[in-house]
Amino acid sequence: MAEQLKNVYTKEYIGNLANKIKEYYSSFDKEKFCKEIFDSSWESLELKQRMRHIAIVLNNNIKLEYKKQLEVLKFVSKYFYSFEAMFFQDFVEVYGLDDYEDSIKALEVFTLESSSEFAIRQFILKEEDKTMSQLKLWTKSENEHLRRLASEGCRPRLPWAVALPEFKKNPTKVLEILELLKNDKSKYVQKSVANNLNDISKDNPKLVIEFIQSNLGKTKELDWICKHAARTLLKKGDKEILVLFGYEKSKHVKIENFICDESLFIGDNLIFSFDLISEDEPLGKLRVEYIISYLKANGLYSNKIFVINQNEIKTFKKSFSKKQSFQNMTTRKHYKGKHKLSIVINSLIIKEHEFILK
């Protein structure tokens, strides 16, 4: 994904950035700035490396003290949006760790049109208590972007970001933030709270189970957060979580009319279908998944779980039809040989089928 995203920084984009800086900072040398951005290293840089490179070149060309540099960047940042504008936050991460107050104020501005979730983590690592107190203040903000930052910024395992090892060991301070946000009406914030809890579940599953036990069934919004937070535990087949969400019964379910390819070529789709049958009662609340056991280059297997259904089925029969791509991607390379498909109902494997990838 990053290979595609990094290409947002076109010459037009950087030119627009230079023009906006020039509006506020008259002595800015636009040509020099653009030339330094697109130097000999540019093509080899990935997305986050390009963000860092832009931040460094900004510092080299806005020849002011840090606080005044921020004034320029805060003005300019209003014209740039989304993830590609995160070089503003990266600038703060690189050059602002020794100026806490001005940096935090700048991150507040930058996150409104983008997100400061990466940069704030360096301040948590450097001044944990002070920064976590700031996050608590942001939970009360009228702006959903700042409330979301309070949660997203302290996720113990935020993707693409530096980890927060102390919070992986003991997420108590993170849970205090999430308690303040768990009833937030913004879906943007709710999703972050759920993702944070899912992060915590990977190192401290009992704490997340306790959160779910305390909050499940209270409101529609909290039910959504709990379900989304439990996705890793559900995939692992955690017995307590399965019971909490009503996925404890499966012995009454049979699989019939199973059809699956015996072989396929790399680049094709594996196509399979099956019926779930219950003779004495409706199928009920079922978490239906399938596992692909991928053959790796070293001859071992890597399992990947995919969810098909996790709702109540009020009928006695339900048919499913799926296809799974075996197209090579940057994130997964496929190897010819024997692979396996497993059908899973409420964490129990009820059908296995081997197939050949050619």
The CATH number that applies at residue 39 is: 1.25.40.290
Distance CA 180, CA 168 (A): 20
Q: Are residues 311 and 206 in the same domain?
A: no
Q: Are 68 and 31 in contact (CB under 8 A)?
A: no
- What is the reported pLDDT for 237? 87
Looking at the fold, whether 225 and 345 belong to one and the same domain comes out as no
Burial of 57 (0-12, 13-18, 19+ CB in 10 A): buried
Same domain, 143 and 269: no
> What is the pLDDT, as a whole number, of residue 50?
95
CA 323 to chain centre: 25
Could you tell me if 203 and 258 lie in one domain?
A: no
Q: Do residues 283 and 317 both lie within one domain?
A: yes
User: Is 96 within the bounds of a domain?
Assistant: yes
In a domain, 249, yes or no: no
Q: Which tokens go with 277?
A: 């049958």
Q: What is the pLDDT of residue 30?
A: 94
For tokens 């709710």, the residue is 190
pLDDT at 329 (0 to 100): 86
CB of 262 within 8 A of CB of 254? no
From 191, 226, 244, the end of a domain falls on 244
Residue 35 CB burial class (10 angstroms; 0-12, 13-18, ≥19): exposed
Beta bridge partners of 325: 269
User: Do 233 and 298 share a structural domain?
Assistant: no
Residues 191 and 151 in one domain: yes
Domain span at 209: 2-244
Q: What is the pTM of this model?
A: 0.84
Instruction: Answer with the one of 244, 265, 299 that is the final residue of a domain.
Output: 244
pLDDT mean for each 10 residues of the chain (358 residues): 72 95 93 95 92 96 96 95 93 96 97 94 96 97 96 94 94 97 96 97 96 95 96 91 88 93 95 94 93 94 93 93 92 92 94 96
* Confidence (pLDDT) at 2: 41
- Alpha carbons 85 and 195: distance in angstroms, whole number: 23
Do 209 and 72 lie in a common domain? yes
Residue 223 shares a structural domain with residue 318: no
- Does some domain include residue 94? yes
Cα Rg, the chain, nearest whole Å? 25
Paired tokens of 195:
């993702």
Tell whether 276 is covered by a domain.
yes
Does residue 235 share a domain with residue 276? Answer: no
Q: How many domains does the chain have?
A: 2
Q: Residue 201 domain-assigned?
A: yes
Same domain, 217 and 264: no
Please tell me the predicted confidence (pLDDT) of residue 330: 78
Task: Answer yes or no: is 111 within a domain.
Answer: yes
- Is the domain of 23 the same as that of 91? yes
How much is the pLDDT for 344?
A: 94
Q: Could you tell me which residues come within 8 angstroms of residue 55 by beta carbon, excluding any fewer than 6 positions away?
A: 87, 88, 90, 91, 93, 94, 95
**57-96 pLDDT tens trace:** 999 999 999 999 999 999 999 999 998 999 999 999 999 9
Please give, one letter per residue, the 3-state secondary structure of the chain.
Answer: CHHHHHHHCCHHHHHHHHHHHHHHCCCCCHHHHHHHHCCCCHHHCCHHHHHHHHHHHHHHHCCCCHHHHHHHHHHHHCCCCCHHHCHHHHHHHHHCCCCHHHHHHHHHHHCCCCCCCCHHHHHHHHCHHHHHHHHHHHCCCCCHHHHHHHHHCCCCCCCCCCCCHHHHHCCHHHHHHHHHHCCCCCHHHHHHHHHHHHHHHCCCHHHHHHHHHHHCCCCHHHHHHHHHHCHHHHHCCCHHHHHHCCCCCCCCCEEEEEEECCEECCCCEEEEEEEEECCCCCCEECCEEEEEEEECCCCCEEEEEEEEECCEECCCEEEEEEEEECCCCCCCCCCCEEEEEEEEECCEEEEEEEEEEC
Residue 274 inside a domain? The answer is yes
Q: Tell me whether residue 216 is exposed, middle or buried, using C-beta atoms within 10 angstroms of its C-beta: 0 to 12, 13 to 18, 19 or more.
A: middle
**pLDDT (0 to 100) of residue 131:** 97
Exposure class string for 248-277: b at 16+ Cβ within 10 A, else e = ebbeebeeeeeebbeebeeebebebebebb
Residue (of 212, 256, 121) closest to 135 by Cα position: 121
* 58, 61, 62, 63: CA torsion to nearest 10: 140
Length of the chain (residues) = 358
pLDDT of residue 274: 97
- For the four alpha carbons of 157, 158, 160 and 164, in that order, the dihedral sign comes to negative
Which domain-ending residue is among 224, 244, 264?
Answer: 244
CATH of the domain at 346: 2.60.40.10
In a domain, 184, yes or no: yes
